[in-house]
Amino acid sequence: MLINTVLLFLQSALPIFIIISLLLLRFTMASKNIVTHKELMIMSGLAITLTLLLNQIMEKISQLFDGRGMELIFSFGFILIYFCSALLFLLNNKNRFINSKKILALIIFLLVFSLNGSHFILYLTSYWAQSPSLESLFIGIILGVGICISFAILLYFLLRYSDAYIHTKTSCYFLLFFALGQLMQAIVLLQQVDALPLSYSLWNSTNFIAENSEFGQLLWVLFGYESSPSFMQLIIYFLSFIIPVFVSKNCCFIRLVYGEKS
């Protein structure tokens, strides 16, 4: 029960803490006062409301599309997270698109918070209802919250240091990898309901890092680690990484093609 609760936090709550760290980093370091306290409060309120609402209608969603509603809607959300993050990655160095970046960040935050948060509430309430030992559940919650907060703070300062002294775009690349992890969730969900073709696994690294272990879950949240990826997953992963990086590196060339002067 204790380990299950900790794993639940790593799987569903950690992405929320990570995205808060990443977005705070981008919007407090890159441009000062870009997001006001009032906006932060409104966003948080909106995210919590959306999460609770999604949690309430999850049962109805699950029955849509012949019992495949949850996968289709959640995968759509995860894909949207990736595309918004990729756009934010591309707009990183531009000071002109402040409002666009704020809207993209808001969409990413709301989606990550509501999709992962609604799952988290569902699992936690189910565990709570069926748990023989409430003591271990409470200890698990305390441990889980502690791990998530500690990890998010460490990540914030590590990326802040790295952005300042190692590579200016470290946090941007980290955001892209995080979004790739969310995209991989979408791929698995779509394969689960036959919306994407399934194929044999290319390899199985379960003996090296098991996906269901604590470390495996952490890597899964951070980079979309999969112990037995299929060919399609691998291709989508690499293309989804390479395309935004290629576009960002070749901005000058593309501007030339489209005749944009600035």
Q: Is 173 in the site for another protein (CB under 8 A)?
A: no
CB of residue 168 vs another protein: minimum separation in angstroms?
21
Q: Is 62 in the site for another protein (CB under 8 A)?
A: yes
Cα distances (angstroms) measured from residue 46 to each of 4, 20, 59, 69, 247:
29, 14, 21, 23, 33
* CB 147 within 8 Å of CB 139: no
Q: Which C-beta is closer to another protein: that of 162 or that of 173?
A: 173
Q: Is 255 in the site for another protein (CB under 8 A)?
A: yes
Q: Of 26-34, 41-49, 79-87, 134-142, which part binds another protein (CB under 8 A)?
A: 79-87
230 φ, ψ to 5°? -90, 170
* CB 176 within 8 Å of CB 18: no
39 φ, ψ to 5°? -65, -40
Q: Is 2 in the site for another protein (CB under 8 A)?
A: no
CB of residue 244 vs another protein: minimum separation in angstroms?
8
Q: Is 128 in the site for another protein (CB under 8 A)?
A: no
Among 76, 173, 177, 223, binds another protein (CB under 8 A): 76
Among 91, 158, 209, 232, binds another protein (CB under 8 A): 91
Q: Is 256 in the site for another protein (CB under 8 A)?
A: no
Rounded CA separation 120/213 (Å): 18
What contacts 19, CB < 8 A, 6 or more positions away? 108, 109, 112, 113, 178
Q: Positive or negative, the Cα torsion across 64, 65, 66, 72?
A: negative
Q: How many residues bind another protein (CB under 8 A)?
A: 48
One-letter amino acid at 127 equals Y
Sites of contact with another protein (CB under 8 A)? 58-59, 62-63, 66-68, 70, 76, 79-80, 83, 86-87, 90-91, 96-97, 99-100, 103, 122-123, 126-127, 129-130, 188, 191-195, 198-200, 206, 210-212, 228, 247, 251, 254-255, 257-258, 260
